[in-house]
Amino acid sequence: SQKIEQNSEALNIQEGKTATLTCNYTNYSPAYLQWYRQDPGRGPVFLLLIRENEKEKRKERLKVTFDTTLKQSLFHITASQPADSATYLCALAGGSSNTGKLIFGQGTTLQVKP
């Protein structure tokens, strides 16, 4: 079955450092990979989308890479700030077996300390 794995342990880093979160998947060939941010008790918010034929995507301090051979995406936040503290979810979409739905990972919680 399709499976997405994100590090379930919280990631703690110091303000100003780069945070790197990992998303691995198996038994799936997605057309898109998406990253969402979720604050406690609130709905996820879409951040970035990367397509299967793209290696890297950037938006301000965010960078996403997508390696379809390794079946892995890395999500980077550069110059991290305490306001970046949240849970980050990756989600897969597209592909022949999953039209119209997203498959979400469980999320990794990031804590940025001042």
Partner 1 sequence: DADVTQTPRNRITKTGKRIMLECSQTKGHDRMYWYRQDPGLGLRLIYYSFDVKDINKGEISDGYSVSRQAQAKFSLSLESAIPNQTALYFCATSDGTQGTDTQYFGPGTRLTVL
Residues in the site for partner 1, rule: CB under 8 A?
Answer: 8, 32, 34, 41-46, 49, 89, 91, 93-94, 100-102, 104-107
Q: Which two tokens stand for residue 52?
A: 């299967």
- Shortest approach of partner 1 to residue 31 CB, angstroms? 8
Task: Report the alpha-carbon distance of residue 24 to residue 32 in Å, rounded.
Answer: 14
Task: Report the alpha-carbon distance of residue 109 to residue 88 in Å, rounded.
Answer: 6
Toward partner 1, which CB reaches closer, 13 or 93?
Answer: 93
- Shortest approach of partner 1 to residue 25 CB, angstroms? 13
Toward partner 1, which CB reaches closer, 42 or 60?
Answer: 42
Q: Which two tokens stand for residue 73?
A: 């995406």
- Shortest approach of partner 1 to residue 14 CB, angstroms? 27
The alpha carbon of 47 is separated from its chain's Cα centroid by a whole number of angstroms, namely: 9
